[in-house]
Structure formats: structure tokens, C-alpha cells
């Protein structure tokens, strides 16, 4: 089967374009990766090239040995993915030690996988383990309002989670485990990958101060929907803060406990502090 005709590639391209339409991907901002199922790899194996050399990942991900990923290319623009996917995205294979990768398809005009490959793969490794192989999508976007909040709120998981929960009733149902925050770090390397993947042990959202957001999910819809929900709530909070620093009313800790009961979610008490 032609790689571009597969359901997972089409879903990947649609999600990238949805993100661009939201305004989250200026220039080459953001990156996306998807872990293929063995069945999907079998379906395209005759279309994969094995001419490329192995390249060090820059970190070690033994839990992903032999896995295949569809990833965006470094420096490639999300707005071009829908127009010329073969030039903007690639399928890579991770070696048997989880230390090197090689390109098996795509990036036909040259290039390398995203500069955030360390973070994507370390997040995938954690999520594969803690979700019992269910999560397959890692998404990084430059979400405007969430970035703006990292200049206004203390960079603490408890504060960001509570503020985002309060600004849209759906939030504690969509991300009951909360969100993690990484203070400003140099992007594109192992240190920020370690810090982010540590948060992914307990959260599906990691906010990078003054930079953007990472989300994890089982499929494209769920992962995009999570990013969209967090960013929408951040937009509401930015609007509130823009009008007045004072709120007349909001959702209270006991309201969240009542909601948790009816919606069958567990909301950690550490987020339900008295203000
Ligand atoms: P890449 O073009 O290398 O994916 O980098 C974009 C980005 O958002 C870095 O954080
Ligand atoms: Zn970025």
C-alpha cells in the first residue's frame, strides 16, 4: 500500500493541518510524532527504503527498540505538510538497542527528524510503559495563550492545573490528572527531554515555560483534543486577566469534588487547595 494512502499518515497530516489552522505553528514551530503498530509497519514494508545510515538519537530509549515512528522534519513548516507531505515528514526506525535511528521513508528533499526527537522518544518510552502500550501520539505546539500564562502564573503544576480547571468546566474531566510545568530550559536536547518525560510519568500535558506545550494520547483525535482543551481554557484565563485581576466567582474545591463523583474521575487533592 502507498504510504500516503494509509489511514495513519492521513490522520497525521490532518492533525498537523488542524494545528496550523489554530495558529499554533508559525514558521517551523512545533512537531508531531506517531508510533506505528506492527500491523501498520507490515502494510508498508515494501515501500520502505533501507539505504540510510543509522544516526545516534542522542539519548537511550531501550523501551522503544525496533519501533517505527512517523515524525515531522526539523525546520519543516506545518503549513506545508498538507501540500507536500513526503518532503516534510519521515518514517524512522529505532535500532535494537534504542540508541540509533534511520530514516525509512520521506524527507525526499533531505533533512532530519525534528530537533525535539529526544523529547518525543523519551515521552513515547514513558507513555508506552505507563499506558500499557496504548498511547501512540506525542504533539508539541506553540500554543499562544498557554505560553502567555507562563509569564503570569507561578511555574507550578498545582497552580497551572487549578487555574486551567477553573476556567472551563470540562477541563477536570478531560485532564483529571492535571498538567505539569517545565521551567525555561534550552530546547532541542537531552536535559529538557529528561525533565519532560519525568512529568509524563503522571501527566498527559507538559507545559514548557515561554515556549509551548507537549501532549500525549492514544490517537490523533484525543491528543489534538487535549491540546485544544488546555489552550481554550488558557485563552479564557488570558481574557479574564486582561479585563480584571479580580474574579467575582469561580468553581470552588467542593464543586470539583462533586463533579468528580458524577463524572467518575479522580481529582488529586493537591490541586484542590483553599485560595
Ligand atoms: P523543529 O523544526 O526542529 O521540529 O523545531 C521546532 C520547534 O518547535 C522546536 O521546539
Ligand atoms: Zn517548539
What distance in Å separates the CA atoms of residue 152 and residue 84, rounded to the nearest whole number?
A: 39
Q: Which ligand is nearest to the CA of 73?
A: 1
pTM greater than 0.85 (yes/no):
yes
What average pLDDT does the segment 120-136 reach?
A: 98
Whole-number pLDDT of residue 98: 98
What average pLDDT does the segment 233-254 reach?
A: 96
Angle of helix 220-243 versus helix 7-21 axis, rounded to 10 = 10
Whole-number pLDDT of residue 14: 98
Same domain, 149 and 107: no
Q: What angle do CA 51, 54, 59 make, to 5 degrees?
A: 155
Domain boundary among 115, 133, 157: 115
Choice from 74, 80, 120, 146 to test ligand 1 binding pocket (greatest atom count within 8 A of CB): 74
Same domain, 111 and 148: no
What one-character DSSP code corresponds to residue 200?
T
In a domain, residue 123? The reply is no
What distance in Å separates the CA atoms of residue 71 and residue 120, rounded to the nearest whole number?
A: 9
Q: Ligand 2 centre and the CA of 192: distance in Å?
A: 12
Same domain, 32 and 95: yes
pLDDT, one tens digit per residue, over 34-80 is 999 999 999 999 999 998 899 999 999 999 999 999 999 999 999 99
Q: Ligand 2 centre and the CA of 211: distance in Å?
A: 6
Same domain, 168 and 251: yes
In a domain, residue 6? The reply is yes
In a domain, residue 153? The reply is yes
Say how many C-beta atoms besides its own lie within 10 A of residue 217's C-beta: 22
What average pLDDT does the segment 199-207 reach?
A: 99
Whole-number pLDDT of residue 100: 98
Active site residue 116: yes
Domain boundary among 97, 115, 133: 115
Q: Ligand 2 centre and the CA of 140: distance in Å?
A: 7
Asked whether the beta carbons of 182 and 195 are under 8 A apart, the reply is: yes
Whole-number pLDDT of residue 227: 99
Q: With b meaning 16 or more CB within 10 Å and e meaning fewer, what string describes 59-89?
A: bebebbeebbbbbbbbebbbbebeeebebbb
Task: Report the CATH number at residue 231.
Answer: 3.40.225.10
In a domain, residue 138? The reply is no
pLDDT tier, 245 (very low <50, low <70, confident <90, very high otherwise): confident
In a domain, residue 195? The reply is yes
Say how many C-beta atoms besides its own lie within 10 A of residue 159's C-beta: 15
The residue nearest atom 1 of ligand 1, judged by CA position, is: 74
Q: Which ligand is nearest to the CA of 213?
A: 2
Q: Which of 40, 67, 93, 116 is catalytic?
A: 116
In a domain, residue 129? The reply is no
For 117, 155, 220, the CA distances from 204, given in Å and listed in that order, are 18, 17, 14
Domain residues for 273? 143-275
Domain boundary among 96, 115, 134: 115
* Count of alpha carbons within 13 angstroms of residue 110, beta-carbon side: 0
Same domain, 111 and 147: no
Is residue 224 pLDDT above 90, yes or no? Answer: yes
In a domain, residue 98? The reply is yes
Bridge partners (DSSP) of residue 138 are: 33, 216
What distance in Å separates the CA atoms of residue 106 and residue 29, rounded to the nearest whole number?
A: 19
Whole-number pLDDT of residue 215: 99
DSSP, collapsed to helix, strand or coil, labels residue 3 as helix
pLDDT tier, 29 (very low <50, low <70, confident <90, very high otherwise): very high
Asked whether the beta carbons of 115 and 187 are under 8 A apart, the reply is: yes
Same domain, 147 and 275: yes
Same domain, 75 and 36: yes
DSSP per residue over 70-115, as a string? EEEBTT--HHHHTT-HHHHEEEEEE-TTSSEEEEEEE-TT---B-T
Is residue 154 pLDDT above 90, yes or no? Answer: yes
Q: Give the three cell numbers for residue 164.
A: 486551567
What average pLDDT does the segment 208-233 reach?
A: 99
Atom of ligand 1 nearest to the CA of 142: 8
What average pLDDT does the segment 217-237 reach?
A: 99
What distance in Å separates the CA atoms of residue 265 and residue 262, rounded to the nearest whole number?
A: 8
Q: Ligand 2 centre and the CA of 176: distance in Å?
A: 25
What distance in Å separates the CA atoms of residue 181 and residue 106, rounded to the nearest whole number?
A: 33
On average, the pLDDT of the chain sits at 98
Same domain, 11 and 48: yes
Whole-number pLDDT of residue 51: 86
**Percent residues over pLDDT 70 in the chain:** 100
Structural domains of the chain, count: 2
Amino acid at each position: 500500500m502507498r504510504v500516503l494512502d494509509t489511514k495513519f499518515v492521513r490522520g497525521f497530516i490532518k492533525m498537523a493541518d488542524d494545528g496550523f489552522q489554530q495558529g499554533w505553528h508559525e514558521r517551523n514551530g512545533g512537531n508531531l510524532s506517531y508510533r506505528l503498530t506492527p500491523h501498520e509497519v507490515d502494510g508498508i514494508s515494501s515501500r520502505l527504503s533501507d539505504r540510510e545510515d543509522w544516526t545516534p538519537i542522542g539519548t537511550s530509549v531501550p523501551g522503544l527498540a525496533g519501533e517505527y515512528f512517523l515524525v515531522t522534519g526539523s525546520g519543516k513548516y506545518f503549513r506545508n505538510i498538507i501540500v507536500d507531505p513526503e518532503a516534510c515528514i519521515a518514517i524512522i526506525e529505532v535500532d535494537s538497542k534504542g540508541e540509533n535511528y534511520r530514516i525509512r521513508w520521506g524527507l525526499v528533499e533531505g533533512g532530519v527528524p525534528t530537533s525535539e526527537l529526544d523529547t518525543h522518544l523519551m515521552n513515547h518510552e514513558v507513555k508506552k510503559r505507563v499506558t500499557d502500550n496504548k498511547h501512540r501520539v506525542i504533539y508539541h505546539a506553540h500554543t499562544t495563550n498557554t505560553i502567555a500564562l507562563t509569564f503570569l502564573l507561578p511555574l507550578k503544576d498545582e497552580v497551572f492545573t487549578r487555574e486551567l480547571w477553573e476556567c472551563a468546566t470540562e477541563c477536570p474531566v478531560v485532564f483529571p490528572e492535571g498538567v505539569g510545568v517545565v521551567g525555561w530550559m534550552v530546547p532541542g536536547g537531552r536535559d529538557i527531554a529528561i525533565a519532560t518525560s519525568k512529568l509524563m510519568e503522571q501527566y498527559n500535558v507538559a507545559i514548557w515555560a515561554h515556549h509551548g506545550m507537549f501532549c500525549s494520547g492514544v490517537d490523533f483525535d484525543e491528543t489534538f483534543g487535549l491540546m485544544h482543551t488546555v489552550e481554550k481554557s488558557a485563552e479564557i484565563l488570558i481574557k479574564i486577566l486582561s479585563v480584571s485581576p479580580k474574579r467575582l466567582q469561580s468553581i470552588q474545591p467542593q464543586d470539583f469534588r462533586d463533579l468528580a463523583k458524577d463524572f467518575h474521575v479522580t481529582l488529586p487533592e493537591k490541586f484542590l487547595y483553599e485560595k
